[in-house]
Structure 1
Amino acid sequence: MLTTRIIISCLVLIIKFKCTFVFQIKEQKVVVDELSNLKKNRKVYKQQPNSNIFFLADRTEMLSQCKNTLDELKKAHLELENSEKAKIKK
């Protein structure tokens, strides 16, 4: 009975974790799309972590960083999916 509760708790945590990944991936896709469609002369500002302060940033550099972040999120999500499938097969 206790192990069943633990397994259910773990499954709930995994589902919440996956939902967070999916949300972050969608959010990052929007950011990449918005930066990709900006005109060359538009200014881009980057928010400082844990602050309401924004600094002027290079558009191409920000686009590159956002694409890298998106790739990392997709990779982590894929690893989570693969590890989950491996656990199910066992």
Structure 2
Amino acid sequence: MSSKNSQRTEPGAQEERAPKEELNKKITEQKIVVDELSNLKKNRSVYTQQPNSNIFFLADKEETLSACKKDLDNMRKELQDI
């Protein structure tokens, strides 16, 4: 019960934790994507989804991997800034 009371008395702490937790989840997901792309065989096809649609287009594996790594680095920097 004491943990519930401390959460009620410190609303700012809970608001601060929520973005960090969500960003940590996104970072974990992005790590998985990078690992999966890194471990694909050379002849495997990679498709990327167009924003706000259900349409996928064939993409270059190396370009997709570098874009995912860049996104992961940006997320890590954002987490450090929080």
Provide TM-score, normalisation by structure 1: 0.78
* Counterpart among 39, 62, 65 of residue 60 in structure 1: 62
In 2, Cα distance between the equivalents of 1:40 and 1:9? Answer: 50
Match of residue 51, structure 2, among 34, 49, 52: 49
Cα RMSD over matched residues?
Answer: 1.1
Specify the alignment match of 1:85 in structure 2: none
Instruction: Indicate the percent of aligned positions where both proteins have the same amino acid.
Output: 53
**How far apart, in 2, do the equivalents of 1:14 and 1:53 lie?**
36
**Structure 2 runs not aligned, ≥5 long:** 1-8
Superimposed CA distance per residue, residues 7-37 of structure 1 (whole angstroms, 9 cap, x where no aligned partner) = 8332212111000110000000000000000
* Counterpart residue type for residue 27 of structure 1: E
2:80 aligned residue (78, 81, 85):
78
Deviations for 1:46-77, whole angstroms, at most 9, x for unmatched residues? 00111111000000000000000000000100
**TM-score normalised over the length of structure 2:** 0.85
The number of residue pairs the alignment matches comes to: 74
Aligned to 1:42, the other structure's residue is in SS state coil
